[in-house]
Structure 1
Amino acid sequence: MRIGFVGLGNMGGRMAACVARAGQEVLGYDVREENVTAAGAKPAASVGELVDGSDIVLLSLPDSKVVEAVMADLLPHARPGLIVVDLSTAAPDSTVRLHALLASRDTAYLDAGISGGAAAAEKGSLTLMVGGEAGELERARPVLDLFSANIFHCGPSGAGHTVKLLNNFLNATALAATAEVMVAARKAELDLETVLAVLNASSGVNFATLNRFPKIIHGDYLKGGLTNTLMLKDVNLYVELAARLGVASPNSAGPLASFGLARALGYADEISNTVVDALGDLSGGVRLHDAAAADSAGSTAPREDA
């Protein structure tokens, strides 16, 4: 298959690089052309040119607004047999509308939420949750296998993006709650290594206690993952989904407040793990680590975060 990739930023660039390292030629388009070449892809002059030169087009974009803008350029070039895979975190209702538009041109459209963060994208070990026709997923699978370790067919169009929102809401809730607990532990003058060991052997264990805070307490925020702005966007999408489904969502208040606070205090474009510093700021300037530890752990290597 001729492979095209639109959106080669933090996540898309790493996924495209996995495909290129597997010996596949990738045609890429990004508003920053340097992102395309850095991923080992060949730059396309436009979305239309990329679609014309591809059998499968992968999208990795910030939100549904951007996906819909790209789709406006893609649609005139859609044709029978083409597969479009949207790897973005997007609103499921928008996804379903785009699926119908592409179906009218006999073009397949799969929504494929991803999880694993920058580290998994770098290693090609992402988890994909896919919505759309099962047969089209099988056609796309050889390409998706190049950057994923787990692929789940979740149901019809929109199901993949729906499962992604459910996952990200739990991810955000666990991160925000654990950040609060760890600030409290620090203020209580507890040994943070011991606190995490207890949590990870007890009922409070979660992804953040296992994978994030063992690094954060030493000043390593695992840079390279989802920002506070994007985390807040994902939680808002979940709240909209819950409202549309008629599901009560009292637990959304915590992550909405926490990541909204992080944005307001200047952490908008920082990795979402810095929500702990936002909570620390309002708790008397608390940090889980000392400055020397933070300086020595200031790695920018890609890390798992979503």
Structure 2
Amino acid sequence: MSGAATRVGFIGLGNMGGRMTACLVRGGVEVLGFDARAGAAEELGAVAAADAREVVAGSDVVMLSLPDSRVVESVLYGDPAVLEAVLEGQIVIDLSTSSPASTRRIAADLAARGARYLDAGISGGAAAAEKGALTLMVGGEAEALDEVRPQLEHIAAKVFHCGPSGAGHTVKLLNNFLNAVTLSATAEVMVAARKAELDLETVLDVINASSGVSFASLNRFPHIIQGDYLEGGLTNTLMLKDVALYLDLVAELGVASLNAPGPVAAFGLARSLGYADRISNTVVDAIGDVSGGVRLHDASGQETA
């Protein structure tokens, strides 16, 4: 499979899928795209497909960027014509955050049709997707991954082969759980710092030079304290979904999850207070709401109603 001649099909052109598609198009890749929202493919410079079946039938490599396994399964199994359109030797890449068990089932069904399925969890958020600098954690055949590296290089700066089918989505769930823990915990700490009338930039400088440092403190909160929530990434609803998938995973593995109550409570609170479809960074506002109306970026430095 030659990188220059390969046509990529892309199903799911939302916040992340749209950004990845734009990177492919800018890199000179011909993309056949489909999204439930009319006009999405054309806006990104992709060729518009009428439906998922047309994408599968007309592409050498198919990429999926969908909310969860339920939606992935509905796309692949909802219309029998989609699986019937799978081509011998085709590679399908699931860039969603999906259940490893569902991933293995789909991989087996595609293998029976002569195709290969790679589960490729992504990390880096909207900013990395915009620049084509995502981190990918991939499960499935190493040979299949090698074949699609030329296409993946347009969207990712780092690509890790994590093991057989399901391994990529397993690593993704492990990573996302740590992301949820550190984001929600740092949000709580920063609300406390505001209420203690501390200078938030100084607090972050201390944390980032100390043992409490995390991706959230390094990359998110320097923006959040200025009122920039870095919109466009994972929502509170999707973050809570990812934590639930992690809990299913560790239950299946027989691992006790002693740290799950914090992020479950935090992102559940955000959903209940009206932040369900806002970026998960707004969990800090949900915690602030129940802590006296605190906003980190309030110019006066006072609590807001």
TM > 0.5 between the two?
A: yes
1:186 correspondence with 2:191:
no
Asked if 1:5 is matched to 2:13, the reply is no
With the length of structure 1 as denominator, give the TM-score of the two structures. 0.94
Distance 1:29 1:45 in 2: 7
The match for 1:48 is 53
Partner of 1:28: 33
Query: What is the aligned counterpart of 1:15 among 13, 20, 33?
Result: 20
- Runs of at least 4 residues off by over 3 Å: none
1:172-211 correspondence runs (5 A)? 172-211=180-219
Give the aligned partner of residue 141 of structure 2.
133
Percent of aligned positions that are identical: 70
Q: Secondary structure at the match of 1:204?
A: coil
Matched, 1:238 2:246: yes
Residue 162 of structure 2: aligned partner: 154
Q: Please give the residue correspondences for 1:1-306 in structure 2 after superposition, counting only pairs within 5 Å.
A: 1-72=6-77, 73=79, 74-290=82-298
- CA distance in structure 1 between the partners assigned to 2:107 and 2:52 by the alignment: 18
Q: Quote how far apart the aligned CAs of 1:292 are.
A: 8.6
Q: What do you get for the CA RMSD once the two structures are aligned?
A: 1.1
2:218 and 2:55 mapped to 1: Cα distance? 41
Please, which runs of 5 or more residues in structure 1 have no aligned partner? 294-306
8 A Cα contact 1:33 1:43, kept in partner: no
8 Å contact from structure 2 (residues 122, 134) kept in 1: yes
Name the SS of the counterpart of 1:286 in structure 2. coil
When normalised by structure 2's length, the TM-score is 0.94
**Secondary structure of the structure 2 residue equivalent to 1:233:** helix
Deviation, 1:36, is: 1.0
Q: Is the 8 A contact 2:35 2:41 kept in 1?
A: yes
- 1:180-221 deviations in Å (ceiling 9; x for gaps): 001111111111111111101110000111111111111111
Distance 1:191 1:289 in 2: 11
- CA offset digits 1:223-277 (Å, max 9, x no partner): 1111100100101100110101000001011000000000000000111010001
